[in-house]
């Protein structure tokens, strides 16, 4: 079963955002066939690398109500408390934050952590520090979404560009109703995704855990959790 899942992950079709890159590699490969074997190999290698990077496997979110799932694949690099991005207008009070680092080998399609409604989307230009650094949350280029839960609480999910990632794609709009596990965007070539939970909700993951976007449970909305320490810079 584990082998079958791994094969499905590796052989998954690409996200539509990747087709221009894959096509470009294919064109270079075709030209190289008539010009230079080296150029053909480079084009084919680039196209295959993009097929791997932009893979978009299907995911099955948990069916139990009240769960928050990982908005991205990758490794948890921080669990603490921080203020959500100011541009979202959610106030400056500290709330639980989980940060996920995506390497170039991870699936980069972002998925909705909850069902609800998008109340605000705010894009902010910035720097391109290594996404594994704490300062990346505050200083890097980012796209932040505020989500309103059916019970009136809100949370935020933030797409953050990294050292190599220079293009954030968001496929939803303000006012859209969204579902748990639904695809909402992609970040190209290495990045970070931050999730800000409603106050009092406990994070159920720890630093070092590997996340599966749209499937791994990060929190339960029903229970009050312990206060989390402020996020510390590595």
Q: Could you tell me the CATH number of the domain that includes residue 208?
A: 2.70.70.10
- Mapped onto helix, strand or coil, the DSSP state of residue 11 is coil
Confidence (pLDDT) at 12: 58
Helix and strand numbers (H, E) in the chain are 4, 14
Q: Of 28, 53, 78, which marks where a domain is finished? A: 53
Nearest Cα to Cα of residue 217 among 65, 88, 86, 101: 65
- The full DSSP string for 109-178 is EEE-SSSEEEEEEEEE--B---TTSTHHHHHB-EEEEEEE-TTS-EEEEEEEE-SS---EEE---TT-EE
Let me know if residue 60 belongs to a domain: no
Same domain, 100 and 31: no
Same domain, 183 and 103: yes
Give catalytic residue positions.
191
* Domain residue limits at 17: 2-53
pLDDT digit of tens for each residue in the chain (234 aa)? Answer: 454 454 454 455 665 666 676 677 777 778 778 878 788 788 777 777 666 667 778 888 998 889 999 999 999 999 999 999 999 999 999 999 999 998 878 888 899 999 999 999 999 988 877 777 788 888 888 999 999 999 999 999 999 987 665 578 899 999 999 999 999 998 876 689 999 999 999 999 999 999 999 999 999 997 444 444 444 433
| Tokens describing residue 86 | 């100011």
pTM of the model: 0.80
Let me know if residue 226 belongs to a domain: no
Same domain, 116 and 19: no
Q: φ and ψ at 40, to 5 degrees? A: -60, -40
Same domain, 192 and 121: yes
């Amino acid at each position: 079963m584990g082998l079958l899942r791994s094969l499905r992950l590796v052989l998954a079709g690409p996200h539509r955002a990747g087709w221009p890159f894959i096509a470009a590699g294919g064109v270079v490969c075709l030209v190289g066939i008539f010009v230079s074997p080296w150029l053909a190999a480079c084009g084919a290698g680039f196209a295959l690398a993009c097929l791997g990077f932009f893979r978009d496997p299907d995911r099955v979110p948990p069916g139990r109500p009240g769960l928050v799932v990982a908005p991205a694949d990758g490794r948890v690099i921080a669990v603490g408390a921080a203020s959500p991005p100011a541009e979202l207008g959610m106030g400056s009070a500290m709330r639980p934050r989980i940060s996920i680092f995506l390497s170039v080998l991870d699936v980069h399609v972002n998925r909705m952590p909850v069902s609800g409604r998008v109340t605000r989307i705010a894009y902010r230009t910035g720097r391109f520090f290594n996404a594994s650094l704490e300062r990346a949350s505050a200083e890097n280029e980012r796209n932040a979404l505020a989500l309103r839960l059916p019970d009136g609480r809100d949370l935020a999910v933030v797409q953050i560009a990294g050292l190599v990632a220079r293009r954030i794609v968001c496929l939803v709009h303000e006012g859209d109703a969204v579902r748990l596990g639904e695809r909402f965007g992609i970040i190209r070539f290495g990045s970070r995704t931050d999730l800000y939970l409603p106050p009092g909700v406990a994070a159920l993951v720890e630093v070092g855990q590997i996340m599966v976007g749209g499937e791994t449970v990060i929190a339960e909305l029903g229970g009050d959790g312990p206060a989390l320490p402020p996020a510390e810079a590595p």
